[in-house]
Amino acid sequence: LAIKLLIFGNRGQLATCIKRHSLASRFDIVALGRQEFDLTSRGDLKEVISSIQPELVINTAAFTDVEGAEEARWNCLDVNSQAARHIGELCQQIKIPHIYFSSDYVFNGNKGSPYVETDRPNPINLYGFSKLMGEDAVRETGGVVLRTAWLFSSHENSFTNRILQAAQKHPLLKIVADQVGNPTCADSLAQITLEMSERILSGEDFASLYHVAGNEAATWAELAREAIASAAEAEPSLTLASVQEIDSAQWNYKAPRPHDSRLDTALLKDRFPNVDLSWRASVRRSAQDRSFIGLA
Ligand SMILES: NC(=O)c1ccc[n+]([C@@H]2O[C@H](COP(=O)([O-])OP(=O)(O)OC[C@H]3O[C@@H](n4cnc5c(N)ncnc54)[C@H](OP(=O)(O)O)[C@@H]3O)[C@@H](O)[C@H]2O)c1
């Protein structure tokens, strides 16, 4: 019998990957985006969830524009924290599990080594603060938090997709090289989420916070270079930009970024020993897909 999942964030990057990976498995997915149900509206979310009758809720919906969040503060808090709490409370009421996604940006980046789940968050921008509030709400209502970082995929919202589009239009791209994190393949995160959903529904306990991030740290410039090199190898006819490394200060960010937000994933690997989180291999593999390169 198919497992019925409700996903919020329908057309977003991660939801798109989850839907793609669920095709080959025994899931029956209902996915809602802003068009179907705006989480900042006062619409009746309880009614929506009860009419769908999911066995588990996956909440990928988020206000993810880190720069924009500094200005649209209330909207960002509404989606990332308030709605997360509301979804959590409703899931708790009807006794179904739910999964929420948080970010490496809950940390200030000053630790100097990879963050573990028990490290104390201390966000330095509004987006990070809103995700931390969301985490707290989800854990208080019995949900699972997957804290991830630097997601990439063939989705148009993805960093690699935007870089590869720009690399076909300009000879030189200036990319920040003084921030370190763990690029994470959104398809790998999607697979882990689906496997975790199945295991939760079979009675396994996942309390309540796991880091899910790519192996091996990198800077944005390194991730861009890897994407460009992989695209050049896959499509030798393309003329692609080279990368010039710059400092964050030259970018003039509205929202400060943590300089070193590496995440330790030992806890996850303990529960998912066969997990493949090699982001370089994923970039190489993804470049075989024309939509990843921005050609389809
Ligand atoms: N992207 C990253 O690098 C990154 C890093 C760390 C953590 N995360 C977290 O991972 C999760 C997935 O991120 P993502 O990259 O998939 O984000 P995304 O591509 O920006 O997708 C988020 C989706 O949320 C939905 N949404 C936004 N506002 C909404 C509203 N008011 N009502 C209903 N739905 C709304 C939209 O779905 P529709 O388009 O269907 O309306 C949007 O596409 C998020 O929790 C994010 O904070 C992401």
Q: Give tens-digit pLDDT for 100-113.
A: 999 999 999 999 99
Residues 239 and 8: their CA atoms lie apart, in Å, by 38
The pLDDT score that the predictor gives to residue 6 is 98
- The reply to whether ligand 1 has any atom less than 6 angstroms from the CB of 9 is yes
- Residue nearest ligand 1's atom 5 by CA: 149
The mean pLDDT value for 23-50 works out to: 94
162 ligand 1 Cβ < 6 A: no
User: If you average pLDDT over residues 79-92, what whole number do you get?
Assistant: 98
pLDDT beyond 90 at 25 = no
**Which amino acid is located at 273 in the chain?**
P
Q: Report pLDDT digits (tens) over 47-58.
A: 999 999 999 999
What is the reported pLDDT for 296? 83
DSSP-derived pairing of the beta strands 56-59 and 27-32? unpaired
pLDDT of res. 26: 86
Distance between Cα 59 and ligand 1 center (Å)? 9
Distance, CA 197 to ligand 1 centroid (Å)? 19
Q: Say how many Å lie between the CA of residue 101 and the centre of ligand 1.
A: 9
CA 235, distance to chain mean position in Å, is 27
For the beta carbon of residue 28, count every other beta carbon within 10 angstroms. Answer: 12
Q: What ligand 1 atom has the least distance to the C-alpha of 159?
A: 3
| Residue 153 confidence (pLDDT) | 96
Centre of ligand 1 to C-alpha 275, Å, is 23
Q: Is residue 107 within 6 Å of ligand 1 at its C-beta?
A: no
Residue 240 pLDDT exceeds 90: yes
Q: Which residues contact 100 (CB under 8 A, 6 or more apart)?
A: 59, 84, 87, 88, 134, 135, 138, 143, 144, 145, 146
Among the listed residues 65, 42, 45, 44, the one whose alpha carbon sits nearest the alpha carbon of residue 54? 45
Least confident of 5-9, 25-29, 217-221, 245-249: 25-29
pLDDT band at 91 (very low <50, low <70, confident <90, very high): very high
Contacts of 147 (CB under 8 A, 6+ apart): 101, 102, 103, 104, 106, 117, 135, 209, 210, 211, 212, 213, 263
Q: Where are the beta strands (DSSP E) in 150-236?
A: 151-152, 172-176, 180-181, 184-185, 209-211, 218-219
* Closest ligand 1 atom number to CA of residue 105: 6
For the Cβ of 151 lying below 6 angstroms from any atom of ligand 1, the answer is yes
**Percentage of the chain with pLDDT > 70?**
100
- Give the model's pLDDT for residue 1: 80
Torsions phi, psi for 235 (to 5 deg)? -130, 80
